[in-house]
Amino acid sequence: MLLLQVIVGGLLLGAIYALFSSGLTLIWGMMNFINFAHGEFVMLGMYVALLVVVWLGGGPATFGFAAAVALFVLGVLVYGSLIRHVTRGPMLAQILSTFGLALLLRYTAFWIFSANIVSLPQTSLGGTLNILGILVPVAQLVAGITAAVLTVAMHLFLTGTTIGSKLLAVAEDRNAAMLMGIRPDRMQALAWGLAAASAGIAGALMAISYPWSPSVGETFGLMAFVVVTFGGFGSVPGAMYAGLIIGLIQALSAFYFGPIYKDIVVYGLFVALLWFRPQGLLGKA
Amino acid sequence: MKGTIALCLAFLAYPFVFSNAFYLDIGVALLLAAISASAWNIVGGYAGQVSVGHCMFFGVGAYLPLLVYQHWQLPPIVGVPVGIAISLVLAVLVGLPTFRLSGHYFSMATIAVAELIRLVVSTWDFAGAAIGLQGPAVGRGWYDLTFRGELPYYFIFLGVLVIVLAVTWQVQRTRFGYYLRAIKAGERAARSLGVPVRRTKLYALMLSAAFTSVAGSLYAIKTGFIDPDSGFGILVSVQMVIIAALGGAGTLYGPLVGALILIPLQTATNTWFGGGGTGLTYILYGGIIVIIARFEPGGLHEMWQRIAPKLWKRHAA
């Protein structure tokens, strides 16, 4: 029973990994660009949730929405002011741009919020459910399911709507898309907004159940790399499966080897994967 | 050539002009930063393979001297070649799989491997876990390289910097150096002209790793202490990247120029803002990196090359 509980917990957290990783993979798929600040977007989502709760009050729906909107705006701003100018530049500029942004965001957060670990005050999602003997905290259940629904929604948005098709068209061939009357710049700005928003909501969802400090961005950023590599670069469904798998692996290694080893196991798998299957477990060769 | 001689003389004279401990300390920190940034520059600058996890080599180099001292009471310097050897193995492990793929993979892999090593070291009792390792407090002989003053360290570091720059200069002039620049300019084109792309990138990484490891060793021997964050922390990598990129990545003196600007700046912010300054320093670092990436990816070197002719023209008129 305990094992089942660990598995359920891992999958629920994994669904949130899937959500923010789908943002990273979207950017990669569209512009062959790695965002080193993606984990910092998740971290900012957490602090947005905290600020909304402290200043305005309101439940998870309110601060989740606020985090999504705030991060969407940030994502578009980052694209317009920084990324747009470096994508055609040298590799050094591409990598340094978001790497520097990550430092800037992380240490500004340190400066404003201090290095202390914080957590949200008790939300309306308290209590624990007992499903056939498996104890699941309500907050984690709601957060995990919300994340899964949003990830699926993102996939459906990309594959089933006109705007989504335009996004994918730009990803496929920027010039051809331009000839079809699509403005690649707008679509890429939208992709950055969506990616950042997915990170922001994911952050807000995790903030409900887990305490954090400004340094979590680094961990989540690396976690997103791992998930995206597992799922194959540029694939949202791949990120979804991989997120669940990584969440599960993490929970099981914490259970069997102890909590300090959970990240070591995941990063170790990542390195092994780079060696043996760099296109990802689910990616095409 | 004249410039190089003047630079050498300036560095030789510095400790005698500014002989008090504070300025000497800045000089030593500056030399160390210039060594590791110059080492990064070989793969990150010349070959254009942007490593953001170079702290893995620095950390290995830093840990080994203190490990051999702690466990076998050997002089720390014995650990230096061992550190280099392990760093070379690490370079092959990271480089072989990732150099087949696009440059982003390499960057991602370096940061992930560095973090993996940091986590392993911080839970590994043999390596002092989270507490870290200490070197000999009092030297048992000259071979322990524990000096009272900073002066001997200054000259040792200066010697190593000269070696690193001399090797870089040599690399620049040879076929290997041209290969590196060809790869940076366009990998596919380079390959089509018969450049052995993967092997060249791997050699560059190995050379860079060896020197970075030496920089780590120098740091640990001088400081006499190392812990996971000062060896394998992300900020160690950040410093190398920012210094090289600021001065001009892929140029011989770029990293040295970067260090000449950034290290005094860092000391200044730390003295002005006290303990709270460290946070501000890194905000500043992030800001500088973003600005370089956005406006001046060639660093100050390229900016100078653009501005200098205009200045001359104005003088002539």
Q: List pLDDT tens digits, range B224-268.
A: 889 998 889 888 998 899 899 989 888 999 999 999 998 988 888
Q: Which residues of B touch A225 (CB under 8 A)?
A: 108, 111-112
pLDDT of residue A285: 45
Per-residue pLDDT of chain A (285 residues; tens, 9 = 90+): 788 888 999 999 999 999 999 999 999 888 888 899 999 999 999 999 999 998 888 788 888 999 999 999 999 999 999 999 998 888 888 888 999 999 999 999 988 988 889 888 876 677 787 777 788 888 888 899 999 999 999 999 988 898 888 888 888 888 888 888 888 888 899 999 999 999 999 999 999 888 999 989 989 999 998 898 888 777 888 899 999 999 999 999 999 988 888 889 989 888 888 888 766 666 554
pLDDT of residue B317: 55
Residues in a beta bridge with B134: B225
Q: Which of A89, A174, A150, A157 is nearest to B48 (CA)?
A: A89
pLDDT of residue A282: 63
Mutate to test the interface with B, among A21, A28, A91 (most CBs of B within 10 A): A91
Residues in a beta bridge with A137: A128
Structure tokens that stand for A268 in this block: 């170790």
**Cβ separation B282–A90 shorter than 8 A:** no
- With 90 as the cut, is the pLDDT of residue B135 above it? no
Domain extent, residue B97, equals 2-316
Residue linked to tokens 């990436």: B293
The C-alpha of A173 sits at a distance from chain B's nearest C-alpha, in angstroms, of 18
**Cβ separation A110–B119 shorter than 8 A:** no
Chain centroid to CA B232:
13
Residues A83 and A131: their CA atoms lie apart, in Å, by 47
Q: pTM score, two decimals?
A: 0.89
How many A/B residue pairs have CB atoms within 8 Å? 141
Write the pLDDT tens digit of every residue in B192-224: 888 898 999 999 999 999 999 999 999 999 888
Q: What is the CATH number of the domain that holds B201?
A: 1.10.3470
Q: Which residues of A touch B48 (CB under 8 A)?
A: 90-92
Q: Which of B116, B283, B294 sits opposite A108 (nearest CB)?
A: B283
Query: What angle, rounded to 10 degrees, do the helices at A184-209 and A2-31 form?
Result: 160
Structural domains of chain A, with CATH: 2-276 (1.10.3470)
Give the contacts of B180 (CB within 8 A, at least 6 positions apart).
B46, B47, B48, B171, B200, B204
The C-alpha of A161 sits at a distance from chain B's nearest C-alpha, in angstroms, of 30
**Cβ separation B52–A111 shorter than 8 A:** no
Q: Which residues of B touch A271 (CB under 8 A)?
A: 109, 112-113, 116
Q: Please compute the mean of the pLDDT values over residues B272-297 and round it to a whole number.
A: 80
The residue of chain B with its CA nearest to that of A98 is: B290
Q: Which of A97, A263, A275 sits opposite B119 (nearest CB)?
A: A263
Q: Which of A94, A105, A260 sits opposite B123 (nearest CB)?
A: A260
The C-alpha of A9 sits at a distance from chain B's nearest C-alpha, in angstroms, of 23
**Cβ separation A107–B241 shorter than 8 A:** no
Q: In chain B, how many domains are there?
A: 1
Q: Nearest-5° angle of CA A28, CA A33, CA A35?
A: 90
Residues B208 and B129: their CA atoms lie apart, in Å, by 27
CA within 13 Å, CB half, B102:
12
**Cβ separation A104–B286 shorter than 8 A:** yes
The residue of chain A with its CA nearest to that of B104 is: A34
Report chain A's C-alpha Rg in angstroms: 18
**Cβ separation A107–B286 shorter than 8 A:** yes
Residues in a beta bridge with A135: A130
**Cβ separation B294–A271 shorter than 8 A:** no
**Cβ separation B104–A33 shorter than 8 A:** yes
Residues B60 and B215: their CA atoms lie apart, in Å, by 10
Residues B158 and B65: their CA atoms lie apart, in Å, by 20
Residues B195 and B102: their CA atoms lie apart, in Å, by 17
Structure tokens that stand for B283 in this block: 């905000």
The residue of chain B with its CA nearest to that of A31 is: B104
**Cβ separation B112–A270 shorter than 8 A:** yes
Q: Which residues of A touch B116 (CB under 8 A)?
A: 264, 267-268, 270-271
Q: Write the DSSP symbol of residue B147.
A: -
**What is the number of residues in chain A?**
285
Using an 8 Å Cβ cutoff, are A137 and A72 in contact? no
Q: Which of B102, B112, B290 sits opposite A225 (nearest CB)?
A: B112
ipTM of model = 0.86
Q: Could you give the 3-state DSSP secondary structure of residue A134?
A: strand
The residue of chain B with its CA nearest to that of A219 is: B115
Q: Could you tell me if residue B250 is left (phi over 0), alpha (psi between -120 and 50 degrees) or otherwise beta?
A: left
Q: Which of B78, B42, B15 is nearest to B165 (CA)?
A: B42
Handedness of CA A109, A114, A118, A120 (dihedral sign): negative
Q: What distances in angstroms separate CA B308 from CA B253, B261, B301, one per listed residue? A: 17, 19, 10
Write the pLDDT tens digit of every residue in A198-255: 999 999 999 988 899 998 998 999 999 889 888 877 788 889 999 999 999 999 999 9
Q: Which of B13, B30, B7 is nearest to B259 (CA)?
A: B30
